[in-house]
Structure 1
Amino acid sequence: MISLRNDALSVEIAPLGAELQSVRDSLGRDWLWSGDPAIWAGRSPLLFPVIGKHPGGQVLIDGRRYPIKSHGVARTAVFRVVSQDATSCTLRLTEDEETRSAYPFAFILDMTYRLEGASLAMTARIENPGAAPMPFCFGYHPAFPWQLPDGAGRPHRIHLANGASPGHQRLNADGQRAPDLHPSAFVDGVLTLDHALFAADALIIPEGAGSRCWYGAEGHPGIALAFADLPQLGIWTKPNGPFICIEPWHGLTSPADPDEPLDQREGAITLPPGAERSFTLTATFGVERPV
C-alpha cells in the first residue's frame, strides 16, 4: 500500500488497479467507502478502456470481437510505482499479453495522486505509443459514504454547480445502456438522494452535468468534486447500499447493440499514434456547499 500525507489528509493507494483505498482527514473522519466485500468490494476503481458491461462480454474493435471484463483491464491489473514522495505518487500500467487479449493496443496509463491541502487531485494520463489509432473510454468510479461523517440522519444531496437538471439513461436487464432519455431526477441542479432512485441501477447522464458538483448534507461538511475533462457522469449504488458513487467519465457504457465498435461509442476518444490525453478529478473533503 502506498501512503501519502499532509497536514489535512492522509490517503492510501493500492498498486492493484492503482485504486484509492482510503481518505482520512486530520480529525480522523473517513471520506471514502470502506469496500466491505459483503456489500461491494470496490472503493474507487479506474475504468479503462471501456465503461460497464458489453453484450456477450465482448467489445468490437477493428471488426474483431475481444472478450473484455466489465470496466476494462485497468481495475484488475497491477500498476508499478514510477515516482513517489510524501504528498504525491505516480503509478504506471502498460500493455502485456493479458491486456492485449482484451484490448489489442500498446498503451501507457499513468495515474498520479497529489495532495494539495484538503484536496486530492487524481490525474490519469493515457498515451498511445503504438502505430495504430487507439480508441478508448476512461472513467473514475469513487464511492463515498452515504451517510457522511457529520451528516448522519440528514438528507444527502448532489448539487451540480451549473444548476442544470439533465436527463438520464438507464441500463437494461443485461447491464447495457438503453437509448431512452428519462426526465431529470434533479430539480434546479439538486438531486436529493433516495435509494428508490437506484432500484433500476445507475443514473447515466450523457450530457449537461457540467464540470463541478458538491455532495453532502446541507449545512455540514461535504465533498466538492471538479472534473473539467470528463463530460459524462454516472451515479450509482447497490440496492440500499451505504455508499454513493459519483463517476465522471469520458465515454459511455455500451449499448445493447453488439455491432457498435468502440471507436463509434458516444464520448469515446481515438488517440493517434504518439498522442496523449489527461483526465483530472479533484476532490476536496470536509467543505460546506459553495454558495
Structure 2
Amino acid sequence: MFAIACSQQQYKTYTLTDKAADSLIEIVPERGGIVARWSIQGQEILYLDAERFANPQLSVRGGIPILFPICGNLPDNTYTHNGQQYALKQHGFARDLPWKVTNEDTQNQAAVTLVLESNETTRTVYPFDFQLAFTYQLQGNQLAIRQRITNHSAVAMPFSVGLHPYFLVRDKTQLHFAIPATEYQDQRTKTQHAFTGNFDFEQDEIDAAFRPLSAANASVCDRDRNLQLHLSWDDTYYSTFVFWTQKGKDFYCVEPWTAPRNALNTGDDLISLEPGESLNAWVNMTVTFL
C-alpha cells in the first residue's frame, strides 16, 4: 500500500505513495528539504514555479518551503544578539540548504525523515549549533509534518520556525476561509483590519498575519475545484497564521508560524531552547473532496 521511490531528476527526488488512496508527495532534500509536489487522485494540490525551482540560485516559489530560524523578514535583514549584529535574509536559511535523508518508513504510512545541521555557513549568520529533523508522513489524503529541533549549543538558542505552503488555485473568488481570528495585521502597512472570512483579491498583494489565534486549526474551501483544505498545528508553539498571495498568480499561501516577523529582535513569541534540549512540534494538512 505504501511505497517510497528515489529518482535522479535535476535533483534527487523521493516519491512517497499511498497507492490505496492514489496520493503521493515528492520531496527534494537538496532543495531545502522541500515538498515539491502533492497529488491526490490525479489532482495537484500544490503550486510550483518550475523555472525558479530549476535555478539553484533562486529561492523556491512553490511547494512547502521550511522557515527557520526566522519567519518573515527582519528590518534591514539584521538582528542583534549579545550586542553583536548579524545579517539574516527573509525566512532564514533552511529553505535554501541541502538536507539529508536519515530514515524511511513504509509500514503504516509512507514517511521519510530529513535532517539539517548547523555548519560554518549557518554560524556566520546565526551563531548556534543545532539539528533540525523534519519527518514527512503521507497517509491517505493527509500530510503530517513532524518537527524535532535540537540545540547543540552551550547557550540558549532563540528561533522561530514555520511552513510556507503554496496551494494551487484557479479562481480565488471561489475561496472561503475559516481562520480562528477576528483581525489581522497587513504586513505591508502594519495596520490592523477586521476579518470576516474573505479578502479583496483585486489588491496587487495580500500579506495578512493573524494573531492572536483562538484555535489550532484553519480551513480553506475552494468551490471551484470542489475541495477543502484543513490545517491543524501544535498550539504549544504555533501562535501566528499568515495568508499571502499576489494578483495574477495561481497560488495562495496559508502559513503556520511559531512567531511573527522580527521576533529575533522583539522577542514576541520567540522560542528559546536550552542547551541540549529538543523541541517536538507538528503541522497536519488534509484535503477532502466536496
Same fold (TM over 0.5): yes
Q: Following TM superposition, by how much is the alpha carbon of 1:127 offset from its aligned partner in structure 2, in angstroms?
A: 0.8
Is contact 1:195-1:239 (8 Å) kept? yes
Aligned partner letter, 2:227:
P
Structure 2 SS opposite 1:195: coil
> Which residue in 1 is equivalent to 2:278?
276
Q: How far apart, in 2, do the equivalents of 1:101 and 1:42 lie?
A: 27
1:88 to 91, 104, 111: 111
The runs of 4+ residues in structure 1 deviating greater than 6 Å are none
Q: How far apart, in 1, do the equivalents of 2:33 and 2:164 lie?
A: 12
Structure 1 SS opposite 2:246: coil
1:171 to 153, 170, 187: 187
Is contact 1:204-1:235 (8 Å) kept? yes
Is contact 2:204-2:247 (8 Å) kept? yes
Q: How far apart, in 1, do the equivalents of 2:250 and 2:28 lie?
A: 22
Q: How far apart, in 2, do the equivalents of 1:263 and 1:278 lie?
A: 24
Greater relative contact order structure (CA < 8 Å, 6+ sep): 1
Q: Following TM superposition, by how much is the alpha carbon of 1:278 offset from its aligned partner in structure 2, in angstroms?
A: 2.0
Whose strand proportion is higher, 1 or 2? 2
> Which residue in 2 is equivalent to 1:249?
257
Is contact 2:181-2:212 (8 Å) kept? no
Q: Following TM superposition, by how much is the alpha carbon of 1:227 offset from its aligned partner in structure 2, in angstroms?
A: 1.2
Q: Structure 1 residues 273, 153: closer, same or farther in 2, change over 3 A?
A: closer
| Residue-pair matches, total | 263
Q: How far apart, in 1, do the equivalents of 2:50 and 2:229 lie?
A: 21
Aligned partner letter, 1:144:
F
Q: How far apart, in 2, do the equivalents of 1:214 and 1:201 lie?
A: 18
> Which residue in 1 is equivalent to 2:222?
217
Q: How far apart, in 2, do the equivalents of 1:211 and 1:35 lie?
A: 29
Aligned partner letter, 2:116:
L
2:33 to 4, 11, 18: 18
> Which residue in 1 is equivalent to 2:157?
134
Provide structure 1 residue ranges, at least 5 long, that are not aligned to the other structure: 255-260
Q: How far apart, in 2, do the equivalents of 1:266 and 1:134 lie?
A: 15
Q: C-alpha offsets along residues 193-224 of structure 1, whole Å, 9 cap, x if unaligned?
A: 4423x545410112125211111234932211
Structure 1 SS opposite 2:134: strand
Q: How far apart, in 1, do the equivalents of 2:234 and 2:120 lie?
A: 33
Is it true that 1:73 corresponds to 2:96 in the alignment? Answer: no
Provide structure 2 residue ranges, at least 5 long, that are not aligned to the other structure: 1-12, 54-59
Q: C-alpha offsets along residues 15-35 of structure 1, whole Å, 9 cap, x if unaligned?
A: 12111100111x211011122
Q: Following TM superposition, by how much is the alpha carbon of 1:3 offset from its aligned partner in structure 2, in angstroms?
A: 1.0
Q: Following TM superposition, by how much is the alpha carbon of 1:124 offset from its aligned partner in structure 2, in angstroms?
A: 1.5
Aligned partner letter, 1:212:
N
Is contact 2:46-2:62 (8 Å) kept? no
Is it true that 1:206 corresponds to 2:222 in the alignment? Answer: no
> Which residue in 2 is equivalent to 1:41?
61
Q: How far apart, in 1, do the equivalents of 2:244 and 2:136 lie?
A: 24
2:137 to 101, 114, 136: 114
Q: How far apart, in 2, do the equivalents of 1:209 and 1:37 lie?
A: 39
Q: How far apart, in 2, do the equivalents of 1:234 and 1:153 lie?
A: 17
Q: How far apart, in 2, do the equivalents of 1:142 and 1:225 lie?
A: 11
Between 133-142 and 40-49, the greater mean CA deviation after superposition = 40-49
> Which residue in 2 is equivalent to 1:257?
none
Map 1:136-151; keep pairs closer than 5 Å.
136-147=159-170
| Alignment RMSD | 2.2
Aligned partner letter, 1:266:
D
